Amino acid sequence: MILYLANAFLLWSLCVAQLNEVSQPISLQTLNLGDSATIECYIKSLMTTKVWYKVTTGRKLQLVASFHSFFNRIVYADEFKHGYSVQSDRIDHHLFIAATSWDDVGTYFCGVMKLNDIHFGSGTFLMLKGAKMISDSVVQQPESQSVQSGDSVTLSCSVHSGQCPAEHISVMWLKNSDHSAPEMIYAPGNENNTCQMVSGETTCIYNLPMRSFSPEDAGIYHCVLTSCGQILFGNGTTITNRETVLKPLEVSPAVTALMLSNIILGIVVLILVWTLCKTRRNNSADSGSSGGDQTNDAIIYASVSSAHRNLIRRQGTEKHTGDSVVYSNIRFSESNREVSS
SS3 per residue for 23-44:
ECCCCEEEEECCCCEEECCEEE
Distance between CA atoms of 329 and 136, rounded to whole angstroms?
A: 153
Per-residue model confidence (pLDDT) at position 250: 65
Higher pLDDT, 285 or 190: 285
Strands 117-120 and 49-56: unpaired
pLDDT greater at residue 139 or residue 315 = 139
pTM value > 0.95 = no
- The mean pLDDT of 78-91, rounded to a whole number, is 88
Task: Give percent helix, percent strand, percent coil of the chain, each to the nearest 5.
Answer: 25, 40, 30
Most confident of 42-56, 236-250, 309-323: 42-56
Does 238 score more than 80 pLDDT?
yes
Query: What pLDDT shows up at residue 40?
Result: 93
Residue 305: per-residue pLDDT: 44
φ, ψ of residue 44 to 5 degrees: the values are -110, 95
Average pLDDT over residues 14-29: 66
| The pLDDT of residue 140 is above 60 | yes
Q: Quick one: which H or E segment has residue 2? A: helix 2-19
Could you say which architecture CATH assigns to the domain 137-242? Sandwich (2.60)
Query: How high is the pLDDT of residue 202?
Result: 74
Determine the pLDDT at residue 323: 52
Confidence at residue 97, expressed as pLDDT on a 0 to 100 scale: 94
Give yes or no for a contact between 188 and 138, defined as CB atoms under 8 angstroms apart.
no
CATH of domain 17-129: 2.60.40.10
Q: pLDDT confidence of 16, banded at 50, 70, 90?
A: very low
Rounded average pLDDT over 307-320:
47
Mean predicted confidence (pLDDT) in 212-225: 86
- Round to whole Å and give the CA distance between 161 and 157: 13
pLDDT of residue 159: 81
What does pLDDT average to over the chain? 74
What pLDDT, on the 0 to 100 scale, is given for residue 41? Answer: 93
> Distance of alpha carbon 245 from its chain centroid, rounded?
14
The residue type of 98 is A
Whether the Cβ atoms of residue 89 and residue 44 lie closer than 8 Å to each other: no
Strand (E) or helix (H) holding 283:
helix 253-313
CA 133 – CA 139 distance, rounded (Å): 16
Tell me what the mean pLDDT of segment 37-44 comes to.
Answer: 91
At residue 57, the pLDDT reads 66
pLDDT of 52: 92
Question: 186: closest CA among 63, 58, 62?
Answer: 58
pLDDT tens digits, 317-326: 445 555 555 5
The answer, yes or no, to whether residue 192 has pLDDT greater than 70, is no
Beta-bridge partners for 73: 68
What percent of the chain clears pLDDT 90, i.e. is strictly above it? 11
As a whole number of Å, the CA-based R_g of the chain is 54
| 108 — pLDDT class (breaks 50, 70, 90) | very high
**Residue 53 binned pLDDT confidence (cut-offs 50, 70, 90):** very high
Distance between CA atoms of 13 and 271, rounded to whole angstroms? 85
Residue 94: pLDDT band by 50, 70, 90 thresholds?
very high
CATH 2.60.40.10 in the chain: give the residue spans.
17-129, 137-242
Residue 326 is predicted with a pLDDT of 53
Of 163, 104, 106, 159, whose CA–CA distance to 134 is shortest? Answer: 163
